Amino acid sequence: MYSVIDDLILYRNLKFEDTIRAFCTLNKGCPDISKTVSGLLEVAGEYGLDGNLWENILALALAYNENVYSKATEIIGETTGSINTFAVHDFKIFRKLFHFTPNIDNILLKAIFEYVGNGKDSKLVNTRVRDRILKLSRQLSNTGSDEEFKNTVTEFYKEYGVGKFGLNKAFRIEESTDLNSANIIPITRVEHVYLKDIIGYDIQKKKLINNTESFIKGKPANNCLLYGDAGTGKSSSVKAIVNEYYEKGLRIIEIYKHQFRYLSDILEQLKDRNYKFIIYMDDLSFEESELEYKYLKAILEGGFGKRPENVLIYATSNRRHLIRESFRDKTETDEELHSRDTVEEKLSLSARFGEKIYYGSPDKKEFNRIVLSLAKKHGIDMDEKEILAKANMWELSHGGMSGRSATQFITYLQGQK
């Protein structure tokens, strides 16, 4: 059956197209009202929508549709040329859709236009972005012309971008049936840790900030290896960097070493986007028998394909050289005449990270400062000497002095209130 969305030129293959198409074709006596309403409610539950669900879903479809116009305007904002003629054509249709109401007197449809959500967060985008899309929905509903509609959508693209990369800050890799193709999936619940939350390690944080800011500004920047003792804030520093610079277009993609075969495909998907991407490898290390590090070496340096300028690799590891070494690597010559070459091949991986930042365990004085700072932040009402005495007992039985053990100790005290 014909629907007005069949006339769209740029905005084809819409997200929620089946639901939008079904709603557009509702008419008196239509047997599919319940099915169509169910589809709208499903989207509302996944995205935490509230208000006019029909207009909300149209706004979502606009926010997610990656086409030649939306991807151009996320880069430069208002654009010139003939593409605007086609954009206005499509936005004219969307504006009509925003004011479309099925000619049916049905209590279910009335509830769709005045929907009150359950207050839950979106499962698929973070709360801030969800709220901005709801605002976009209201703005588009109130536009007085097709040109104003176009300008409102364009401003949204310029501010937030378009599609999953525009609406999310962190991603993971989902393996597909195609061994050479990767699905990049948003992570919607990202830990809200910031650099100010990481006590100490000022020199390390400064190096990380300088490298990341150079990257964001389009200046030369290095791949970065954060290495050192466990629990010292390496992973938290990377998470904090993304939270700090998300507004400036920084995104992060988490990948595990068994997924390294997808690296080339991931870079291909990222190279033409108007964002800066960090490919993040947490707790990276390789055993002697593991060969995945060869994929990584080729991406870092040495492969024929050039790494896109909008991509850097950040890794954390407890090992400086990433690959476990043994005395046998240095002394055995019976089984391999060129054992030195083998050792050098292994060590060359870490050498391909231009920025290496060491995170060591804090000494007693620094550990005490971390504990007291965290206690103050979380409102622990206890004498300092008592806190430090308990912290000393805690670290002796919980892996020694580190930021992680200090955080766990404060969590323990909070649970004792």
pLDDT in tens, 283-315: 887 666 566 666 676 677 655 556 788 999 999
Contact 93, 24 (CB under 8 A): no
Q: pLDDT value at position 357?
A: 94
Q: Which residues contact 29 (CB under 8 A, 6 or more apart)?
A: none
Q: Give me the phi and psi of 374, to 5 degrees please.
A: -65, -40
Q: Which residues contact 74 (CB under 8 A, 6 or more apart)?
A: 157, 158, 161, 162, 166, 274
CATH number of this structure's domain 168-359: 3.40.50.300
Q: pLDDT value at position 159?
A: 84
Contact 273, 266 (CB under 8 A): no
Mean pLDDT of all residues in 52-64:
94
Q: Of 230, 231, 226, 192, whose CA–CA distance to 207 is shortest?
A: 226
Buried-exposed string 137-170: b where 16+ CB fall within 10 A, e elsewhere: bebbbebeebeebbebbbebbbebbbbbbbbbbb
For 111-120, what is each residue's pLDDT tens digit? 888 888 776 6
**Helix and strand counts by DSSP (H, E) for the chain:** 18, 7
Where do the domains of the chain lie? 4-166, 168-359, 364-415
Give the whole-angstrom CA distance, residue 60 versus residue 14. 10
For 182-241, what is each residue's pLDDT tens digit? 899 988 778 888 998 888 899 999 999 999 999 999 999 999 999 988 888 899 999 999
**Element at 60 (helix H, strand E):** helix 53-64
